[in-house]
Amino acid sequence: TANGVVLRRCPHHQTVTAPEKGDALRACIASLFNTPDVRDVPNFIDDPRGYLPALQEWLQQSKHAFLKVPLHEGKLHFPLQLAEAGGVTYCILAGPSPRGSHKHCVVGKIKG
């Protein structure tokens, strides 16, 4: 746990697939926070300020933050080992959507 929040994977799936309105990010966050109902997490994409300010504000309530790390040619610019040997760190991976020119995201696992 981290500040009383269980960070593990409780799988949720995207329920809104409309271009630029989809809720894949919401499903990822709900999965990572083990939220019983995906609707208990806002669809950050709908926020007029943009998804990132809305997501940071929501995460701040539980003393968490979202760190966006860009890749260069599909790789990190630096070595990364978050999980201890045999451990797992979950993350959100974003890339091209299979449904258009916008992005899609999924929960990923970094194994130690």
- The model's pLDDT over 9-51, given as tens digits with 9 standing for 90+, comes to 578 888 877 777 889 999 999 999 999 899 999 999 999 999 9
- The torsion angles phi and psi of 9, rounded to 5 degrees, stand at -95, 115
- The Cα 94–Cα 25 span in angstroms is 9
- Distance (Å) of CA 84 to CA 2, 77, 79, 81: 16, 21, 14, 8
- The Cα 32–Cα 101 span in angstroms is 26
In a domain, 12, yes or no: no
Question: What does the pLDDT look like over 60-98, one tens digit per residue?
Answer: 999 999 988 888 887 778 877 776 777 777 889 888 887
In a domain, 4, yes or no: no
In a domain, 14, yes or no: no
In a domain, 41, yes or no: yes
Domain membership of residue 89 as a residue range: 24-111
Residues 6+ apart with CB under 8 A from 14: 22, 23, 24, 27
Name the β-bridge partners of 11.
Answer: none
Give how many domains the chain has, as a whole number. 1
In a domain, 10, yes or no: no
pLDDT bin (cut points 50, 70, 90) of residue 4 is: very low
In a domain, 1, yes or no: no
Give the residue from 1, 2, 12, 3 showing the smallest Cα distance to 107.
12
In a domain, 16, yes or no: no
